[in-house]
Amino acid sequence: MTEQTQTEELVPAQTAAEPVRAPEQPAKPKKSRKPLLRGIARWTAAVLVCGGVGAGTAMGITAMDRTDVPGLATESDGRWKYPKLSLPALPADAPRPFTEGNDGEIHHADLRKLLLPAPAGATVDPKLDGGWVGLDSYLALMKEKDRGEVKEELADSALRHVAARGWTMPDGTTTRIHLLRFSSVAFSEAYKDESVREVSAQVRRLPDGVESAEIDTSTQGVDVPYLSVYSYEEKAPYGPEQTRWAYIQAGDTLAVVTQTRKGGALTVPFQQTVALQAQLLG
């Protein structure tokens, strides 16, 4: 209902013989203009004072360094400074792993170029410099008693290549990334499923030196289409070092990201490293 319609219902209709007349209003006494002028003067003075204070505050903030202004500090949140990332070129007519026609979800790019580069300030492990490595390099992450059985399993799972990169940061955090490429997504997922099952049951495949683990929720926000991420952290009490690790299942390739640090592996660089490695594989 419109405002006009409401008004017509509330006001009785008038006939032609009864014209509408405005009621007579009593004459209003004239007021002196002096109080009004005094009020205007007071408000003008107040506005001028406030304007001066505001201008002074603005000039003060402009003259300060950003880190000196409360609430505008730009202190580091613990993230590492990685180089600018880009996907490697593909061979002619080769599709991306998750595009139509690539049912095996195969990464046709050079696996070594899908490894996350080391961040600024890192000391690169010369044995894990981003090139091809033997299977024993990956198995060395596990307890010695588990290596033989896992090696036999991988021999039966059509594992094709392993590439790896490792580095150590000034704070002592050691990172190792292994990319395992299988002949198809089926073999990659099968190995991932078995690894997750055994780690969750605390049976095998725990990192060397880790006695018990729990799910690490810090990477739950890592959301890359078609990829799955499973993260774990060493449960307290632990020794002088703590380990976090993650499996990133991406089509035919499984990435294993491991970080170890004396006193406790930090959340932010682990989450950042997992997220960036996942993006390179997606």
Instruction: Say what the pLDDT of residue 20 is.
Output: 34
Q: What is the pLDDT of residues 60-115, one digit of tens each?
A: 322 333 233 333 333 478 999 999 999 999 998 899 999 988 988 999 999 999 99
What is the pLDDT averaged over residues 228-235? 96
Domains parsed from the chain with CATH numbers: 114-281 (3.40.1000)
Instruction: Say what the pLDDT of residue 157 is.
Output: 86
**With 70 as the cut, is the pLDDT of residue 35 above it?**
no
How many alpha carbons fall within 13 Å on the CB side of residue 262? 5
Backbone angles phi, psi at 210, to 5 degrees: -95, 125
For residues 147 and 174, the answer to whether their CB atoms sit within 8 Å is no
**With 90 as the cut, is the pLDDT of residue 231 above it?**
yes
Instruction: Say what the pLDDT of residue 41 is.
Output: 40
pLDDT averaged over every residue in the chain: 79
Provide the token pair at 226.
């078609």
**With 60 as the cut, is the pLDDT of residue 52 above it?**
no
**With 90 as the cut, is the pLDDT of residue 142 above it?**
yes
